Amino acid sequence: MSHFGFVHNGWLGDAAHAQVEVGQVEETAAGVQANHCRAWQPQGYAGSSGGQFVAYRYAVVGPYAATLQKDAVVHNGPRNAIALFINPVHDEACTAWFVMSTVNDPSTDESLRAFQDAVFAQDRPVVESQTPVRLPIHKGSSVDTDVPPEVHGPSDRLSAAYRRCLLRWGVTVGVC
């Protein structure tokens, strides 16, 4: 979520309001989840007419499969449920499939698609410019790999837990 104010400035985040609540991360037998996440979003939904706080819940439910629930923190505000399925094409490329349902957002299907396409278009150059290209999935040591070590901050708890899940599941390569 910490990228919202920078990659999605004016949309899912605001550089002048960049602090987000990254919630609580829990590793479960099924995967990993993060609850009680919250961020200020200038335009969090296709039909937004102003900024608002939005609550997020994330869950990784299997290798390359995640869900996201996104609820405006106002009575009868818009709510989205999103599922992301990542299909590895080869070791350094994947296709992301995206399914979304929404309530309390009067936008047309075309507007909903255009909004999500715009958000993904903001993410894409950042994701595709990462070095190394492959996720650094390893046990924390770079001794037996050419993957450089990383430094994680509190906002990286979910992605770090996701990588531990991938290790537990025996996934050794991936780019998402």
Closest CA to 127 of 63, 176, 88: 176
Residue 82 binding Fe ion, by CB under 5 A: no
Residue 123 binding Fe ion, by CB under 5 A: yes
The separation between CA 105 and the C-alpha centre of its own chain, rounded to angstroms, equals 21
Q: How many CB atoms lie within 10 A of CB 22?
A: 20
Residue 21 binding Fe ion, by CB under 5 A: no
Ranked by CB distance to Fe ion, the top (closest) residue is 123
Instruction: Say which DSSP state 156 is in.
Output: G
Residue 9 binding Fe ion, by CB under 5 A: no
> Do 90 and 174 form a contact (C-beta atoms < 8 A)?
no
CB closer to Fe ion, 5 vs 174? 5
Span of 71-79, 97-105, 123-131, 167-175 interacting with Fe ion by CB under 5 A: 123-131
How many residues touch Fe ion under the rule CB under 5 A: the total is 1
Q: Which two tokens stand for residue 57?
A: 């819940």
CB closer to Fe ion, 19 vs 145? 19
Q: Contact residues for Fe ion (CB under 5 A)?
A: 123
